[in-house]
């Protein structure tokens, strides 16, 4: 059994130290070392740390300890009262956080009930699971409000509030729903904010809610940065899918996430790969929650080699030993780029991030590099190089544009131009398919089938 003496030194009870060891937590990460003692003291906390740094355990362990110490107060009331609320932006992150809490709580005394609720699935089973209450609720804001409207739970006894991926909560447009939830909470509570970034909107929310918070900021140092090698391959816009297949087959990569810009592109590219012998499937918000959960399980079980996904999988997805992330389409912002490539190189493993960079995307990729403070060497693979004239035109566009910043939510002219270029590329790909008798543009989710599970 792994040693967890490092967690004992943070002030955790022996039962939780042992629970951490059972989950394979060898030693606390920097954010856990800094955040757990603060949370155990009951202070408000604002923690900033990169994706994959161990933020979930940094709040899960002290939350569980607080509930164990509050067992007498909980037992004195009829039914189970919700004492801790964890708000997250996506279904996948809700499931992941809930599973961590349930795994850590399973061997503990007291039989804490942890409910995981999110939209996209029927509300009735979730209401049934909430009968009798739950001490901990992990929820997306919209579904939480639905359950409150149905009187399935009440928030009057909440003593601990966690906002996980707080920047993403606001970025996805949850501001109004979040305000409604916060208005229903008792004023006397502990607030824990965890996020990879704190843009102005999140900073304003933190300033309005946190009381004399302790700030934890884990800098990106060689000791905390994940071991992720980055490659950038310059490619003809119309040959990205061919190059993608070439890389997957030549390199022999398995358990790969390929990021694209839209659900249509995910379906399209996944089908093209699958029809050419690559075990690839789409993964996006157009799938039901059950189908998405099944796809992730199948990838972990090596029934798929590739999931072609939107930014839905950029956060809240944890796949052990995921070796490679590929940006088929570049993300809109440098922050999204960091979260995408952060799906690999987790838990001390090394990883690889590959970006396909057509000439029209060169200026945008340089902005991403600028925000990261690095320069990724450009590669050209024989047979997939873009037209030299297109490269020259892209260089001229970069010089003319100067050094701008990455924009906010509203699309700029450059954003629209990138989207048009991506659409043109997809159209060209579809035309190429038609000429070879492969109508990939009409592919539908469900036409791909995973390989059988491997014998264990």
Q: How does residue 427 score in pLDDT terms, banded at 50, 70 and 90? A: very low
pLDDT at 5: 53
CA distance 408 to 117: 30
pLDDT at 434: 36
- Ranges 39-43, 280-284, 354-358, 420-424: which has the least confidence: 420-424
pLDDT at 401 over 80: no
Average pLDDT (422-443) is: 38
In angstroms and rounded to an integer, the radius of gyration of the C-alpha atoms of the chain is 23
- pTM exceeding 0.75: no
Q: Which residue has the higher pLDDT, 413 or 248?
A: 248
Average pLDDT (140-147) is: 94
CA distance 101 to 164: 13
CB atoms within 10 A of CB 341: 28
* Element of type H or E holding 161: strand 160-164
pLDDT in tens, 109-127: 777 899 999 988 899 999 9
**N-term to C-term CA, the chain:** 22
pLDDT at 408: 42
Over the chain, what is the mean pLDDT?
81
CB atoms within 10 A of CB 405: 10
Token look-up 């909430």 returns 130
* Dihedral angle computed from the Cα positions of residues 12, 18, 20 and 21, in that order, rounded to the nearest 10 degrees: 140
Q: What length is written for the chain?
A: 456
pLDDT at 399 over 90: no
pLDDT in tens, 63-83: 999 998 876 555 545 568 899
pLDDT at 419: 46
Q: What percent of the chain has pLDDT over 70?
A: 81
Give residues with Cβ within 8 angstroms of 157, minimum separation 6: 77, 81, 82, 83, 186
Q: Which segments within 284-331 are labelled E, that is strand?
A: 306-309, 324-327
Q: How does residue 200 score in pLDDT terms, banded at 50, 70 and 90? A: confident
Average pLDDT (224-242) is: 85
Q: Read out DSSP for 395-426? A: HHHHHHH-S-----SS--HHHHHHHHHHHHHH
pLDDT at 382 over 50: yes
Give domain 227-442's CATH superfamily.
Answer: P-loop containing nucleotide triphosphate hydrolases (3.40.50.300)
Domain span(s) for CATH 3.40.50.300 in the chain? 5-217, 227-442
pLDDT at 402: 60
Give domain 5-217's CATH superfamily.
Answer: P-loop containing nucleotide triphosphate hydrolases (3.40.50.300)
Average pLDDT (263-278) is: 93
pLDDT at 420 over 50: no
């Amino acid at each position: 059994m792994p040693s967890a003496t490092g967690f004992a030194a943070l002030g955790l009870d022996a039962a939780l130290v042992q629970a951490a060891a059972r989950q394979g937590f060898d030693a606390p990460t920097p954010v856990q070392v800094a955040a757990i003692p603060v949370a155990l003291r009951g202070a408000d906390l604002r923690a900033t740390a990169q994706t994959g740094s161990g933020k979930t355990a940094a709040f899960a362990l002290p939350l569980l300890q607080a509930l164990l110490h509050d067992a007498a107060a909980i037992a004195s009331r009829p039914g189970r009262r919700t004492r801790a609320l964890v708000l997250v932006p996506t279904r996948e992150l809700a499931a992941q956080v809930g599973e961590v809490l349930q795994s850590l709580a399973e061997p503990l005394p007291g039989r804490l009930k942890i409910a995981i609720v999110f939209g996209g699935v029927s509300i009735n089973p979730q209401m049934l699971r909430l009968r009798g209450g739950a001490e901990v609720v992990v929820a997306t804001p919209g579904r939480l409000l639905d359950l409150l409207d149905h009187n399935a739970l009440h928030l009057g006894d909440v003593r601990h509030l966690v906002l996980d991926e707080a920047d993403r909560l606001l970025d996805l447009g949850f501001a109004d729903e979040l305000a409604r939830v916060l208005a229903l909470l008792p004023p006397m509570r502990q607030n824990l904010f965890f996020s990879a970034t704190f843009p102005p909107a999140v900073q304003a929310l933190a300033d309005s809610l946190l009381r004399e918070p302790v700030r934890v900021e884990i800098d990106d140092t060689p000791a905390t940065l994940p071991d992720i090698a980055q490659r950038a391959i310059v490619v003809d816009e119309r040959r990205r899918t061919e190059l993608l297949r070439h890389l997957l087959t030549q390199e022999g990569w398995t358990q790969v996430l390929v990021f694209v810009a839209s659900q249509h592109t995910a379906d399209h590219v996944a089908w093209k790969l699958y029809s050419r012998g690559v075990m690839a499937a789409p993964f996006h918000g157009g799938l039901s929650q059950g189908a998405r959960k099944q796809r992730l399980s199948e990838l972990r079980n090596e029934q798929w080699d590739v999931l072609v996904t939107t930014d839905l999988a950029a956060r809240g997805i944890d796949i052990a030993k995921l070796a490679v992330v590929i940006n088929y389409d570049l993300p809109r912002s440098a922050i999204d780029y960091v979260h995408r490539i952060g799906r690999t190189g987790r838990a001390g493993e090394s990883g690889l991030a590959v970006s396909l960079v057509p000439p029209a995307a060169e200026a945008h990729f340089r902005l991403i590099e600028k925000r990261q403070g690095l320069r990724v060497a450009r590669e050209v693979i024989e047979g997939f190089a873009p037209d030299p004239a297109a490269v020259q035109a892209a260089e001229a566009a970069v010089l003319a544009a100067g050094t701008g910043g990455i924009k906010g939510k509203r699309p700029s002219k450059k954003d629209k131009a990138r989207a048009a270029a991506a659409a043109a590329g997809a159209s060209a790909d579809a035309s190429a398919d038609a000429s070879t008798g492969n109508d990939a543009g009409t592919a539908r989710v469900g036409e791909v089938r995973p390989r059988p599970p491997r014998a264990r």
